[in-house]
Copies of this chain bind each other. A is one copy, B any other.
Amino acid sequence: MTAIPPPARVGDAVADVDTPALLLDLDVFDANVAGLHGEVARHGGRLRAHGKAHKCSEIGRRQVAAGAVGLCCQKVGEAEVFVAGGLRDVLVSNVVVGASKARRLAALAGRARVGVCVDSALQVAQLADATAEAGTRLDVLIEIDVGQRRCGVAEPQEAIALADAIAAAPGLALRGLQAYHGRAQHLRDPAERASAVAAAAARARVFRDALVAAGHRCDEICGAGTGSYRNELTSGLYTELQAGSYVLMDADYFANQPDPAAPPLGQALSVLCTVITVRPGHAVLDGGLKTFAVDSGKPQMMLPGWTVLGLSDEHTVIAPGEGAAPLAVGDKVRLAPGHCDPTVNLHDWFVAHRAGRVEGLWPIDARGALF
């Protein structure tokens, strides 16, 4: 839980929310959940919604209520928050290194179904020791590199060696492969995304067949994200899809040309700021680099005619163009973040709104869960 007070009260008009504040449009959120969950269900797929984008147990509970089999996350601390928030099935879709983190995962597995990814013998040894000590059992996915060129083993014989070590540990249960191709999410052309995912699936199939041939089970092939989920869904291979940003959306995802076969996703996330200074040729907003992550580009003004010129720590400078309505000191404006995940991690509350009113104040309870 957070020590920062919420910037509004339930029932307030959105115009009265203190700023800067992270807004979540509930009509769009609900439509995004219905659209993506419905598409996954139509194809008989399973969604394990990714919580790293929202870091919010309330959203996780809603995703599970709407059919997700569980949540995934990237950090042990996020998994602890989600289990404390009532989620009963959480996968850390990331390799986790360190004896203390392994002990925390093993302890958490006594309270919920918990999974984790591995790509090295050290991790398997740490997880084996921790589960033996705790007397619990963890699900394990072997992470493979299917084109992301980041974590993951590169060759099937490495995966078999890890599977052998997992099989020798009573507290570890090999569930399958983590085959995430993050770069594919952000290829702009849907044909390129489809091609990248097809190549990833082909590679995952090689690993799966090698594990099965070596006598191991490999029931789950996990991966996918908002930008490409329909490709993995229809691949005939992936079993659990890990889309997460679909509930929020950001400018970077909207820069993709959409897959015409996928239901459209709307922009549910925005940031409310106040105009604090108006000068000839520019105005200044009360949020900057501590309000918006800029790794995938600057936030975009949602008020027509206004453009973001630049950000400093606490300020965003905007400029009017053709047809820009004038702004006055005290006016409030909304911006679409460039990248939802690290932007959400800067805030402590989602201000969930509908029809111009605050309907909920949802703590971003896994914010800052770095380790």
Measured CB to CB, the residues of A under 8 A from B are 1-4, 7, 18-21, 52, 74-75, 77, 94-98, 100-101, 119-120, 122-123, 145, 149-152, 154, 182, 274-279, 282, 284, 286-287, 289-291, 293-295, 311-315, 317, 329-330, 339, 341-342, 345-348, 367-371
A244 CB → nearest B CB, Å: 11
- Cβ distance A323 to chain B, nearest Cβ, rounded Å: 24
Residue contact A74 to B313, C-beta cutoff 8 Å? yes
A247 CB, nearest partner CB in chain B, Å? 16
How many copies are assembled? 2
Nearest CB to that of A287 among chain B residues? B370
Q: A368 and B347: CB pair below 8 A?
A: yes
- With A18-B100, A329-B123 already in contact, the answer to whether A284 and B348 are too (CB < 8 A) is no
Cβ distance A329 to chain B, nearest Cβ, rounded Å: 5
With both beta carbons as reference points, the residue of chain B lying nearest to A291 in the complex is identified as B370
A4-B77, A151-B277 given; 7 more Cβ-contact pairs under 8 Å: A19-B371, A149-B282, A154-B279, A290-B342, A290-B345, A313-B341, A346-B370
Q: Which residues of B contact A120 (CB under 8 A)?
A: 277-278, 329
Rounded to whole angstroms, the CA-CA distance of A140 and B120 in the bound complex is 59
The chain B residue with its CB closest to the CB of A81 is B3
Q: How far does the alpha carbon of A74 sit from the alpha carbon of B74 in the complex, in Å?
A: 32
Which residue among A100, A295, A347 has the maximum number of chain B CB atoms within 10 Å of its CB? A295
- Closest beta carbon of chain B to A84's beta carbon, Å: 11
A284 to B289, CA, bound (A): 26
Contact B330 A98 (CB under 8 A): yes
Query: Of all chain B residues, which has the CB nearest A314?
Result: B74
Q: State in angstroms the CA–CA spacing of A371 and B22 once bound together.
A: 12
Contact indicator A21/B315 (Cβ below 8 Å): no
Q: Is the CB of B274 within 8 A of A329?
A: no
Listed by A's residue number, 10 A-B pairs whose Cβ atoms lie within 8 Å are A18-B100, A75-B314, A94-B314, A120-B329, A154-B279, A182-B312, A286-B371, A287-B370, A289-B295, A346-B346
Q: In the complex, are the beta carbons of B342 and A150 less than 8 A apart? A: no
Return A344 CB to nearest CB of chain B, in Å: 10
Closest to A282 in B: B149
Q: Which residues from B are CB-within-8-Å of A151?
A: 276-277, 284, 315
Interchain CA distance A99-B239 in the complex, whole Å: 53
Q: A330 contacts which of B119, B122, B313 (Cβ < 8 Å)?
A: B122
> Complex: how many Å from CA A315 to CA B52?
13
Q: Write out the residue numbers on chain B whose beta carbons fall within 8 Å of the beta carbon of A348.
A: 368
Min distance, Cβ A289 to any Cβ of chain B, angstroms? 4
- Residue among B18, B145, B293 making CB contact with A98, cutoff 8 Å: B18
Bound: A278/B351 CA distance, A: 41
Q: A98-B19, A286-B97, A314-B94 are in contact. Are A150 and B329 (CB under 8 A)?
A: no
| Most-contacted residue by chain B among A97, A277, A290, A330 (CB, 10 A) | A290
A341 to B312, CA, bound (A): 10
Q: How far is the CA of A75 from the CA of B18 in the complex (A)?
A: 12
Interchain CB contact under 8 A, A368 and B289? no
CA distance A182 to B279 in the complex (A): 18
Taking a contact as CB atoms under 8 Å apart, the answer to whether B371 and A2 are in contact is no
Chain B nearest Cβ from A23, distance in angstroms: 13
Contact flag A18-B371 (CB < 8 Å), given A97-B329, A295-B311, A342-B313: yes
Chain B residues positioned under 8 Å from A293 (CB to CB):
289
